[in-house]
Amino acid sequence: MLSQTAKILDGKALAQKIQRNLKEEIQTLQPKIGRPPGLAVLMVGDNPGSVVYVRNKEKSCAKVGIASFGRHFPTQTGADELEEVIAELNQDSRVDGILIQLPLPEHLDAIALLHQIKPEKDADGLHPMNMGRLVRGEAGLRSCTPAGVMALLSEYNLQVKGKQAVVVGRSILVGKPMALMLLEENATVTIAHSRSQNLAAITRGADILVAAVGKPDLITAEMVKPGAVVIDVGMNRVVDAQGNGRLVGDVDYAGVAQVAEYITPVPGGIGPMTVAMLLQNTVHSYRQSINHL
């Protein structure tokens, strides 16, 4: 096999740096506010991926000094009960951020529940009010995964302005806000998706290529422009013939690493950045609470 040429964008290292900064900020603010920041993660059911994510989020909270007000509900929990809990957390002055861990069981409407969260406590940046602020280029809480991508590009001083950016995927969680954030930094943005024709021709034009579809190894070396920056948001669990599971992204890492100039690994790329941005959003809301003292 040829040696890898692409430089790695280390999300894990940057996430640790952000967490250290947040920890210091919390230590400065806590005497003024009189309490630590609080994050409530609501999880329904026992999706194995969600269990791991929630555990990581709670560990990261503890590391920086954020109090966790997490609640775990049985799969069959109804919307009424969840709405009641959200209403209580909206009023709870100890809680700065509320997050609903997705995906939810099929009988629940995630969008309707997200609408119940106060926009200023929307730690995931998915409330229509915060999405609207992003569209208008106004300050507000930003969707965590695309915000993590932007922070990583900035950390490595990778120019976005004037570049051709292609986002593969159009979800409200990643694809759409990602395109808007790149646009805000003056990239020329194309969104590709499952109905796009000749995907390879679109992706080959990208100076910055973001893959956020949830399909293992969708992006191969011949779909990437030499010298491109490739950001892999995919987190797919694949099982080999021996029954061993591992995490892979949407990008064929081994192949693409020989064409791209920069690449994010999976795991250790965007995953840790998503959690860091969640903590950052929570601390942002906490900081605002000084104004209400």
Q: Which residues are annotated as a binding site for NADP(+)?
A: 169-171
Please tell me which residue in 57, 121, 176, 225 is annotated as part of the active site: 57
Q: Is 161 an active-site residue? A: no
Q: Which residue in 230, 221, 223 sits closest to 153, CA to CA?
A: 230
Please tell me which residue in 10, 96, 122, 124 is annotated as part of the active site: 124
Q: Is 101 an active-site residue? A: yes
* Pairwise CA distance, residues 178 & 131, whole Å: 11
The residues, any chain, with a CB within 8 Å of residue 4's CB and separated by 6 or more, are 254, 257, 258
Please tell me which residue in 10, 19, 96, 101 is annotated as part of the active site: 101
Q: Is 109 an active-site residue? A: no
Specify the long-range contacts of residues 130-139, CB closer than 8 Å, at least 24 apart: 131/172, 131/177, 134/177, 134/180, 134/181, 134/184, 135/180, 137/184
Give the three-state DSSP class for 52.
Answer: helix
The token duo for 216 is: 């293992």
Q: Please count the other Cβ atoms lying within 10 Å of the Cβ belonging to residue 135.
A: 13
Tokens 């860091």 belong to residue: 276
- Percent helix, strand, coil in the chain, to 5, is 45, 15, 40
Buried b or exposed e, range 55-78, using 16+ CB within 10 angstroms: eebeebbeebbbebbbeebeeebe
The residues, any chain, with a CB within 8 Å of residue 119's CB and separated by 6 or more, are 127, 129, 130, 140, 141
Distance of CA 180 to the CA centre of its chain: 14
Q: Which residues are annotated as a binding site?
A: 169-171
Which residues are the active-site residues? 57, 101, 124
